[in-house]
Structure 1
Amino acid sequence: MSIPYLAQADRQQKLEWLDGGTFSVLLDSAATGGQLTVGRFDVSEGEAPPFHMHTREDEVFMLIGGTALLWVGDEEMELSEGGIVYLPRNVPHGYRVTSATADLLMIATPGGIEGMFRQAGRDRATPRPPGFEISREALAAAADAYGQVVVGPPR
């Protein structure tokens, strides 16, 4: 059984993510009894994960600020500020930020996907190693460990 959990901003883990962006772990599976993960991306223009699908969780993305192109299967859509999308598991998808910056809220259920971000990313509370980047190999290994399937390059 889950219990209420308060995650103040100063206690949320911030991870360096793709292209120098930040993924903040707002609520993880430990805090929600495995029910969900809530995270927030603060990223720059051009940030785009590989085209991928989730095998373990359904995902909801809300674009709090900015604009992006979104691909779901073979369909391309524009996602504008305030737009929200539901991405069921096993549906290939990806996005590319088209504004100078973007603020995206992600909710995944059940929880656990935060482990992928923690494995491949870097905790911003620790010193940044010179030349740090998330290699394709590190991203692929983390994706595989957490039930993500990379089906193509970023779009």
Structure 2
Amino acid sequence: MSMAYIAQPEQQQQLEWLDGGTLAMLLDGKATNGQLMIGRFDVAEGEAPPYHTHTKEDEVFLLIKGTALVWCDDEEYELSEGGVVFLPKQIPHGYRITSKKADLLMINTPAGIEGMFRETGRDKATPRPADFQIKPDPGIADKYGNIIVGPPR
């Protein structure tokens, strides 16, 4: 049974992410009875995950601010501020931020992939080890049904 869930910004988990970016976990499977995960990235130019495929969830992302290149099944697209992308599971994809800063909303359904982000990133509420680096890990990605099929583009 689903219940209403409300969280103010200060209650949302903040993860350190690729290239010094931040991923705010807005909703996860625990809050949505496994139905939905929503995250909001605050990232800089050049941020790009490996080219990958989701095996368990569909993904939507909305570029609130900034610009990006998006690859979907080897086709390249330019995404401008306000642009939205729907990526069904099993479709290889990736992106690269091309503006100085970007604000990107990501939605995955069903939930579950947030575990990969939490294992790969670092909760900003915890002390940061001096040698800490965020690197995509194919083993952790595979554990959550996210298959890395190539390097970032």
Query: Match for residue 113 of structure 2?
Result: 113
5 Å matches for 1:1-155?
A: 1-136=1-136, 139-155=137-153
> What do you get for the CA RMSD once the two structures are aligned?
0.8
Q: Contact 1:63/1:104 (CA < 8 Å) preserved in 2?
A: yes
Question: Cα distance, 1:51 vs. partner?
Answer: 0.1
1:94-152 deviations in Å (ceiling 9; x for gaps): 0000000100000000011110000111000011111211234xx22220110000000
Gaps of 5+ in 2: none
Moved over 6 A (4+): none
C-alpha distance in 1, partners of 2:11/2:39?
Answer: 13
AA matched with 1:20: G
AA matched with 1:7: A
C-alpha distance in 1, partners of 2:117/2:143?
Answer: 11
Q: Percent identity?
A: 67
Gaps of 5+ in 1: none
C-alpha distance in 2, partners of 1:68/1:14?
Answer: 22
Question: Cα distance, 1:154 vs. partner?
Answer: 0.2
TM-score, normalised by the number of residues in structure 2: 0.98
1:31 is paired with a residue whose SS is helix
AA matched with 1:151: V
